[in-house]
């Protein structure tokens, strides 16, 4: 499943955050919660290595129960985060939301099966989590408190639903979906381009090649050939949680300050050598100098990082080679592609793999 870009302008906020040390009971509102990567709310009974690490419930849903005379407050249905201004129950599976400054959550389950009747239902009179609740896993850690902003940063590509912040105006909504599927960052790594001695032409080349494909460039930077700075920038982009692909250009040769592969290797968790091997193989069809490039590729979290050469021409040629492969590679990385899944080409069409 690929992703489409979402507007970050929203009136959706956190109304309350709640926690409990025991399952099956109402949670208690607290000033702040900390969500840990692939774990959940620290100190909460539902945290752990599974898909329902954090629970969300819209206050608009709780209002329905209060209108029936049920005196239920935040945490009354066992939810960790009470939202306001966004219909969380309408968020498609796979949607990613940023909550507060750094926390990124991915929707993994809509509703749940309750015990009959569950303890919360006995206390509140009726449990609405089976229909109204949303469950997520943590893609990026952070602290969350009441008043924090909620932004949808990515939704499954092709999903027609557009859950909007309440209020009716366009500004209150979560924005219009872009046709792009994967957020992409482009880093140009060059001393001479970063200080203006040489014209920067790589980013325009990338935009031209990727226009109308399943990729949208949402971040660009031009940096000097400083290994530590490059590594720190890569880590920051990975930590954002909304970047699926990072393309670097430059710093892959044999010059003393060509340190892009070293910076990349310090960040990635798993190498994916096939990308670099394919780029070199295709490059050799045009010039024997392709053997001099030391670019690598690999994954960090849910992000794929690929080193491209420094020249705009080589970047264009490299992207043309990689485009037929990248969508399926990223779907696999995100855990949403099976061996018999359909492949998504760069125009967003689907074709069936041979049986």
207 phi and psi angles, rounded to 5 deg: -60, -40
Q: Which of 125, 127, 128, 81 is nearest to 105 (CA)?
A: 81
Cα–Cα distance between 80 and 32 in angstroms, integer? 11
Q: Where are the beta strands (DSSP E) in the chain?
A: 3-5, 13-19, 28-30, 32-36, 40-41, 54-58, 81-84, 96-99, 103-110, 134-140, 142-145, 150-156, 182-189, 215-223, 245-249, 270-271, 297-300, 303-308, 343-344, 350-351
Residues present in the chain in total: 355
**Cβ(33)–Cβ(213) under 8 Å?**
no
Cα–Cα distance between 158 and 347 in angstroms, integer? 12
pLDDT of residue 354: 31
Shared fold status for 3-156 and 182-351: no
Q: Is the dihedral of CA 278, 238, 13, 89 positive or negative?
A: positive
pLDDT of residue 156: 64
Q: Which of 309, 316, 271, 262 is nearest to 290 (CA)?
A: 309
Cα–Cα distance between 248 and 310 in angstroms, integer? 9
pLDDT of residue 352: 32
pLDDT of residue 119: 54
Spatial neighbors of 165 by CB under 8 A, at least 6 apart, are: 10, 11, 12, 85, 86, 172, 173, 174
pLDDT of residue 211: 81
Cα–Cα distance between 121 and 114 in angstroms, integer? 9
**Cβ(26)–Cβ(74) under 8 Å?**
no
pLDDT of residue 331: 86
Task: Return the CATH number of 182-351, one of 3.40.1190.20, 3.20.20.70, 3.40.980.10, 3.30.70.1560.
Answer: 3.40.980.10
Cα–Cα distance between 260 and 225 in angstroms, integer? 7
| Tokens, residue 355 | 């049986």
Cα–Cα distance between 32 and 145 in angstroms, integer? 5
pLDDT of residue 174: 29
Give the torsion through C-alpha atoms of 38, 39, 41, 47, to 10 deg: 140
Per domain, the residue ranges of the chain are: 3-156, 182-351
In the three-class reduction of DSSP (H, G, I as helix; E, B as strand; rest coil), residue 322 is classed as: helix
Q: Residue ranges of the chain with pLDDT lower than 70? A: 1-10, 112-128, 156-181, 336-355
In the three-class reduction of DSSP (H, G, I as helix; E, B as strand; rest coil), residue 246 is classed as: strand
Cα–Cα distance between 1 and 150 in angstroms, integer? 23
Q: Which of 145, 136, 78, 80 is nearest to 104 (CA)?
A: 136
pLDDT of residue 121: 54
- The domain over range 3-156 is classified in CATH as 3.40.50.300: no
Spatial neighbors of 335 by CB under 8 A, at least 6 apart, are: none
- Helix H, strand E, coil C: the string for 38-98 is CCEECCCCCCCCCCCCEEEEEHHHHHHHHHCCCCCCCCCCCCCEEEECCCHHHCCCCCEEE
Cα–Cα distance between 126 and 130 in angstroms, integer? 10
Give Cα 17 distance to the centre of its chain.
22
Cα–Cα distance between 3 and 179 in angstroms, integer? 9
pLDDT of residue 306: 98
């Amino acid at each position: 499943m690929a992703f489409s870009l979402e507007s970050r302008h929203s009136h959706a906020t956190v109304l309350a955050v709640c926690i409990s040390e025991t399952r099956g009971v109402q949670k208690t509102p607290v000033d702040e919660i900390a969500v840990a990567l692939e774990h959940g709310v620290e100190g909460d009974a539902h945290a752990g290595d599974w898909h329902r690490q954090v629970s969300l419930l819209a206050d608009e849903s709780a209002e329905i129960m209060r209108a029936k005379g049920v005196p239920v407050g935040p945490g009354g249905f066992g939810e960790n985060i009470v939202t306001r201004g966004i219909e969380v129950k309408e968020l498609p599976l796979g949607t990613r939301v940023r909550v507060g400054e750094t926390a990124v959550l991915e929707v993994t389950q809509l509703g749940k099966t309750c015990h009959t009747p569950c303890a919360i239902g006995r206390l509140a009179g009726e449990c609405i989590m089976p229909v109204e609740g949303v469950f997520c896993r943590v893609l990026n850690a952070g602290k969350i408190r009441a008043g924090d902003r909620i932004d949808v940063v990515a939704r499954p590509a092709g999903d027609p639903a557009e859950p909007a912040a309440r209020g009716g105006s366009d500004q209150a909504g979560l924005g219009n979906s872009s046709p792009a599927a994967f957020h992409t960052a482009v880093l140009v790594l060059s001393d001479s381009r970063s200080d203006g001695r040489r014209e920067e032409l790589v980013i325009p080349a990338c935009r031209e090649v990727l226009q109308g494909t399943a990729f949208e460039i949402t971040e660009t930077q031009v940096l000097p050939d400083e290994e530590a700075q490059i590594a720190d920038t890569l880590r920051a982009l990975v930590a954002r949680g909304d970047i699926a692909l990072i393309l670097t250009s430059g710093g892959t040769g044999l010059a003393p300050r060509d340190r892009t592969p070293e910076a990349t290797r310090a960040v990635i968790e798993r190498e994916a050598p096939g990308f670099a091997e394919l780029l070199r193989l295709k490059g050799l069809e045009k010039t024997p100098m392709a053997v001099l490039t030391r670019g690598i590729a690999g994954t960090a979290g849910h992000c794929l990082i690929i080193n491209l050469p420094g020249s705009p021409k080589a970047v264009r040629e490299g992207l043309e080679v990689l485009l037929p492969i990248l969508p399926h590679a990223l779907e696999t990385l995100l855990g949403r592609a099976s061996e018999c899944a359909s492949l998504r080409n760069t125009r967003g069409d689907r074709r069936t793999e041979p049986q």
